[in-house]
Amino acid sequence: MAWRPSTASRAVKIEIYPQAETDIIRQFRYYLVDQDAPLTAFRYREAVLESIDQLKPHPHMGALFSGSISGLRSWPVKGFEAFRICYVESPGVLRVVRVLHGKRNIRRILRNSEPRRQ
């Protein structure tokens, strides 16, 4: 999935981990194919990218998520607030680990999603 940086916040690099990319694609496909809702599918995809972009200038605004991944934060996807962007931030880099629905067992899923450079 190609990342489109905003012109206002290019200093922070975005890394979308493969499993997070899979999460986004899976939900996009669910809306597009299973629900036959292409407008919702494309709106979801854009909302995820815009929500990640919103974090770039203020990466600490996401809520800290206690668990196995140190410094993990979560932020809702605008317009799809049940979905959470799970990310870690370090100087100059925002790493998106997963994008998950809040009704899933996020702690268990994240335990198996320790961030590793791919």
**What confidence category does residue 102 fall into, taking pLDDT thresholds of 50, 70 and 90?**
confident
Please compute the mean of the pLDDT values over residues 6-20 and round it to a whole number.
Answer: 77
3 state DSSP class of 81: strand
Q: In this structure, is residue 52 part of a structural domain?
A: yes
- pLDDT of 53 reads 94
Domain limits at 43?
A: 13-111
Q: In this structure, is residue 99 part of a structural domain?
A: yes
Say how many domains are in the chain: 1
pLDDT at 5 over 80: no
* Edge-first strand listing for the sheet containing 80-90: 13-16, 93-101, 80-90, 73-77, 63-64
Q: In this structure, is residue 28 part of a structural domain?
A: yes
pLDDT tens across 49-64, in order? 999 999 998 888 888 8
Write down the pTM of the prediction: 0.81
Question: Residue 41 maps to which CATH number?
Answer: 3.30.2310.20
Q: In this structure, is residue 23 part of a structural domain?
A: yes
The share of the chain scoring above pLDDT 90, in percent, equals 58
